[in-house]
Chain A
Amino acid sequence: MASNPMDQFTIVPIVPLEVAGFDISFTNSALWMTITVVVSSLFLLLSIRSRGTIPTRGQMVAEMMYNTVANMVRDNVGSGGQPYFPFIFTLFMFVLFGNLLGMVPGSFTFTSHIAVTFAMAAIIFIAVTVIGIAKHGTRFATLFFPHGAPLWTAVILIPIELVSYLSRPVSLSVRIFANLTVGHVILKVIAGFVVALGVFGIVPLAGLVAITAFEFMIAVIQAYVFAILSCIYLHDALHLH
């Protein structure tokens, strides 16, 4: 294990690859994305294998995840949200399993990289904007001016709303990136204390156990928040506030 708590985030190429001048090497990040896809798909496929009317334990978990996201889409996107359910579900599972697999010792957490989280946030942002404009045309601009406000306030409100709208992908991506990065750094730093303190390392070790549990909670919450904010943005695009 590296002693520098930042080393766990280093991207290491596994299979160097270059296409049209772009470096698209298969790295440890790509490996864990692949593992995430395989594990989340296999988990769901195996747990719903029996397709029983009376569900098995695994099936209960899979159906719970399905219902959680289905309710999230129904409550936050509202009418017309059904076509986006598979996307939101995929997003939730991808981030959730990415976060959780990142808790495996020695693994790599791709969701702790701003490049990945910002790419996801940007795709959601662009998609939501395109959907909004395609659905409402120029009326989409009313998203930046609250209905019923006095006209003269437009001078203040429109820049504020515009900034808040444009900052969405930034806040969405930085939130998860920062949470995951800081969590893993803290784990690594305190783990360093355990080793350094020898016998008395039992004290930080106890703390480490608690923080590990806390990080599992963060992993789930951040996945949930990421998916639910995507739903809310989608709602704005579909219904304009």
Chain B
Amino acid sequence: MNRWLLLGVLLLGGLGTHSLFAQSLTDCHCLIKGVVKDRETRQPIAGAVLILKETGRNAITDAQGQYKIEQLCQGTYVLECRIVGYKVIKTTISLQHSAEEDINLNEDEVHLQDVEIVARRIQAPLTQKSTVLQGQALEQTRGQTLGDALKQITGVTVLQTGASISKPVIHGLHSNRVLIMNNGIRQEGQQWGSEHAPEIDPFIAKRMTVVKGAAGVRYGSDAIGGVILVEPEELPKNGKINGELNTAAFSNARMGVVSGTLQGGIPKWEGFGWRIQGTLKNGGNIRTPDYFLANTGIQEQNFSVTAGYRTGKVGVEAFYSQFQTNVGIFSGSHIGSTSDLLNVIKNGEPFIKVDFNRQIERPNQLISHNLLKIKTFRNFNGNRLNLIVGRQYNRRAEYDLHGPQATTNPALLFRLTTFTGDLTFEHKPIASKVNGQVGLSGLYQYNFTDGRPLIPDFEQKNLGLFLIERVVHQKWEWEAGVRYDWRKLDVFQFIGTTLDPRLHYFGSWSGTSGVVHTAREGLSFRVNFGTAWRPPNPSELYSKGVHHGAAAYEEGDDQLKPEVAYNLIGSVDYTHKRFRAELGVYRNLIQNFIYLKPQAEPILTIRGAFPYFKNVQTQAVFTGIDVDTEWEIITNKLIHTQKLAYLRAYDLRQNNYLVLIPANRLESGLRWQLGKALKCDNTYFSLNHLWVDRQRRVPPNSDFMEPPAAYHLWSVVAGGDLPLSKGKVLQWSITVQNLFDTAYRDYLNRFRYYAIEQGRNSSVRLKWSF
């Protein structure tokens, strides 16, 4: 029932309202009643507002989560449920009965519709635009990296280092300016590096949410460009064992991915649930339309274990995950000097070409990430107390091509240990209208760097306190919050072999305020003004040396001040019959924006002269528009989608553009839903086109090479659900990316100097749920 309802809610999003029946003999003694519950805890929710869109009639749930709307005429209604802190739910209800003339029928027998509403608590800020990737859209990305999965969201692009390392970019910001919340915990790896991809197995996620814009109040420092929430499915509560097996096979790189999940409860131990999950990935050299890229294989092994116990009142959950990957770095990208780089750019293709090979050699990265997390909650008198504690250990070993030690020791080894603790208290609704939470976040982290000098060892402590309150009043939802963060950073810098310790204190306020207004059915507006901050990281403060691969000598500045972002973001959601559109506009002003500024004199080293860059601060402004449209040309049969992302990033002090900003892009899709075909249900076929413009907004002479030309990419997907015995389903899909094997380069790929992008890639995905 619940699942059906949720599905109904999803499907209804784009369908609009159903007109009322024209009735002459109207029976107006119908009744809708039901209960509103939290999907996760199954606790009733008090103070939820239920509105019948057609009549404006409404009700508020009582302490038991029950509501009742009486004296309704028969017909079809859209019932909307709103609760602060939860997603808005809409469901269609048909109030009818067979004997229309019998006015004196017992209400409870015929006219009654009993609707249970299951609400999902929203983790994302209410008034800020967030986009969720789940279901089929997520399934179609299985086997790809986290960044690649997210780039189908408008406004999200990827920063790549070759095809196997990709980082999500939100509204032009990435790395330390985008925060990833892995299952409630800040993901703490070596985020500052552009060649450091998030260490998360995307198969853990059943839902990925991208919050666009500064969201510093709820999530703390670094949430300048946006936040990515990676959320698994809730643990099962009953004893039945079930699971799924995902496989994906790719023609390019001859990559195979297998991922399985098994979950269940313990019979007769109501409330206990467990899950084990694991993923294996293996790929070889990537093929471009013209040649293979030497040493671009990947091997990945991940697993996670979850166990928990929960009732309506109390719950505890332990989660452990391990992520382990060995990524080959394209050998053609290995350069020793600026002249090496200029030579390969001049050559237009790698000097050395090889055949397909699975072996991973130097240079490569060996990365492991362990996360242990314990989450508990307790509900009392309508309040809720959450505690999440976590420990992460990130080990990143980067092996160079060089010398005798390359075979045994990494050229660079980072070991980062992070402890986090978050305590939040969600109070019960005040006057059924105001809901909110207050929270305390702590972080303790230390890092060791071994090998070639790059960044010093450091230790940091962080404390944050926040308060967010939300109000729902009729068609308006308001949200406001404030936070203070404090950080102490100890840096263990060595001058030669003498320790020269440094100490930094940083602190900053963050704030957010916003409103959502539902003007009428199918039209809503939201505006949010939020701030977020980010203290400079040890790399920006203390790095000194040649950045291999970038052919640049980079130098930090220990006087840098924290960055503060002021982000204004507004959006309009419009639905009319078979048409749906979302328009988002943003302006993100970043004070003390840290970037690498080219210096006049190059640095002369034993490997020749390198361009010299220093970390400096400026005032940067990111302005952009995201547009999403969906048009059902033929209802439920033929759907056209379009996504437009426009971004302009400007340095207000230098009066010039910023470097490495994603180019504007337009993506169009045509999806044909065949329904039942080829013995399958939900069969579909879709054709997609992506156009990425050439980045024309770059400062002059800022790069070794002009930004690459605009490109067009085509892709096709076909899929369906093959029913197996006993209601089991095998979901399949076939995808061809870069259908015409187009040779292109992307401005946000650091390897654009060395090689063209990946060529055609056909893949088959199978998902068997049992």
Same assembly: no
